[in-house]
Amino acid sequence: MLSTSSDSHYQLKIASFNLFNFIAPPDAFYEFDNIYTQEQWQKKLNWIAKYLKEHQPDVIGFQEVFSPVELEHLTKSCGLDYFTVLDSPQVMDDFIYSKPVVALASRYPIKEAVSVNADKEWATKMGLINQFEFSRKPLRATVELPKLGLCDCYVVHFKSKRPLFDAQEIKLGSDTGSSSKSAASNTGQLLAMEALGQWGSSIQRGSEAVLLRYAMVERRSQTQNPMILMGDFNDTLSDGVLAAITSVDTRIKPQADMGQGAMGDVAHQLGFYRLRDSYDLYQASQYSLSEQARPATHFYFAKGSVLDYILLSSEFDAKNDLSLAEVGRYETYDRHLLNPSFEHDSQSTDHAPVMITLAIRE
């Protein structure tokens, strides 16, 4: 067990939860036969409710939502009185759904909720098409939190690593013969095309990250609200594709005619707009006693990786002069991934929900 923060601090719990195909029967996800039985669906609802009741998050972001009405009913039954979802999943053939959406539930009032759109001008400057869009629209919910006031909470589900297209479904140029050389050429083409599809996915995911960061900075400059970004990033944060969302490497310099204090001003402004990984902030806090490796939130075969994150603005950095709170606890709920029980976990999720506890100064 990780140590908790002092009882003298007001505590607030923030969580991110990939629900893994949350869709009520008789609707199907992706394929016509992917339909839960009533028993399976109830088991999934019970598993999620058990997590919510045991861990008691105050604000929680969800990914892979196909049935938002059912999710709202579930979260409200668990004491989260406020709920928002703005985007809609794509429907094919009346009952087959694709492109799930994100949602947010809160114990405290949601004062405003908007979908975040990619800035078209900056997308074009980046070399993207003018019609560039997020694969799944991020959600910004402005929540009125105790002690902190208005806080902008963002929920994301960045583009997966799945290639943008299936190389084997694309018709190659016609063969001129049936020789092994021709077959080898086709195999080479397929490998190259697969690489193209994977890189296209990386371009989409990385572009989503930096365009979201720009939108968050724009909002921050207008309101000065604290920021929380949570979700399934579908990549490691330190990876080159996503590194820009937290990067502070810069060539920005104070103007030559400004005094010595200008450097401090620039540093302060960079810190004000910076996002930090809550796990790193926890590890740097006085509460962290763990020297173990960071728990994975997802496994691909036997390989684990951290795909789910909660990022925080400077108000939650204990080392910042203007800090209002600090990360007193960091939890990865991974029992169902490491030691699953079919009886209890067969309809759970393929991700580990992550939750942080913020100790807010009185």
Instruction: Give the per-residue pLDDT at 264.
Output: 55
**What whole-number distance in Å separates Cα of residue 154 and Cα of residue 207?**
17
Contact 13, 333 (CB under 8 A): no
Helix locations, 105-154, DSSP H: 120-125
Burial classification of residue 180, based on how many CB atoms lie within 10 Å of its CB (0-12 exposed, 13-18 middle, 19 or more buried) = exposed
Looking at residue 161, the DSSP 8-state letter turns out to be S
**What whole-number distance in Å separates Cα of residue 205 and Cα of residue 10?**
36
Peptide bond into 26 cis (omega under 30): yes
Instruction: Give the per-residue pLDDT at 130.
Output: 84
Tokens of 163: 């290639």
**What whole-number distance in Å separates Cα of residue 167 and Cα of residue 6?**
55
Calculate the CA dihedral of residues 55, 58, 139, 304 and round it to 10 degrees. Answer: -20
Strand 110-115 to 101-106 pairing = unpaired
| 105 to 120, 146, 246: CA distances (angstroms) | 29, 16, 25
Instruction: Give the per-residue pLDDT at 176.
Output: 47
**Which of the residues in the chain have pLDDT under 70?**
1-9, 171-185, 253-267, 286, 290
11-169+186-360 under CATH 3.60.10.10, yes or no: yes
- Give the pLDDT confidence of 268-324 residue by residue, as tens digits: 777 899 999 999 999 998 677 767 789 999 999 889 999 999 999 999 999 988 899
Helices vs strands, H then E, count in the chain: 8, 17
Boundaries of every domain in the chain: 11-169+186-360
Instruction: Give the per-residue pLDDT at 168.
Output: 77
Calculate the CA dihedral of residues 140, 145, 150, 154 and round it to 10 degrees. Answer: -20
Closest CA to 112 of 133, 82, 135: 82
- Give the pLDDT confidence of 234-282 residue by residue, as tens digits: 999 987 899 989 987 777 765 555 444 444 566 677 789 999 999 999 9
Contact 232, 158 (CB under 8 A): yes
Instruction: Give the per-residue pLDDT at 184.
Output: 62
